[in-house]
Amino acid sequence: MNFDELLTYHCQLLKDIPKSSKISVLINLYELSPVLSPTKSLGIGVFHSAVEIGGYEIAYGGTRCEGTGIFFAKPLTVPHPARFFKQINMGPSKLNCTQIADFLIKNKDIFSGLSYHIIQKNCNHFSEFLSKKLSGKKLPEYVNRIAKIGSKMGCFGGIGEILGFEEGIGPDIGRSNDGI
């Protein structure tokens, strides 16, 4: 299965959740800054984020092939080299699971795996995009602060290498071809 087919498969599972179910929008944060101790000493955290809804964690990452970078994972599955940091409740979703699945499919190309960029279009940008659609709320400023600083200063270009993945290709977090 390619990434688009996996997204379609997981969205179908999401659609199977009863429309009457109340869905909370949760942001799961994983701290990457233990790997980047210089940034931590400056009080700047480096985070991977994902949105948890209906028992599924939905995130975004880079790929080396065509297709979406949106993927589903088991909630609170800690991606290497990160550690779980905290969960933020953004409140109830304004959409039911069928509407959420349709929204993800409609927007899958906006978050293609090849368009991932650690500073300009990363997992935190996706989590905020989805959170704003579902709950109307933005992520706390600190979640993507390092990318905002990097984009303004034109630096942090080699941060991916420090984290152990190619620039432009995010960490292979939570992806598998065998589903959740």
Catalytic positions, written as ranges: 48, 123
Q: How far is CA 152 from CA 43, 64, 86, 147, 156, in A?
A: 18, 27, 27, 9, 10
For the four alpha carbons of 104, 106, 110 and 111, in that order, the dihedral sign comes to: positive
Q: How far is CA 67 from CA 35, 81, 101, in A?
A: 29, 25, 17
CB-based contact 89:112 (threshold 8 Å): no
Instruction: Give residue 43's identity as a one-letter amino acid code.
Output: G
For the four alpha carbons of 92, 87, 76 and 57, in that order, the dihedral sign comes to: positive
CA distance linking residue 58 with residue 53, whole number of Å: 8
- Please, which residues have CB within 8 angstroms of residue 20's CB and are 6 or more apart in sequence? 96
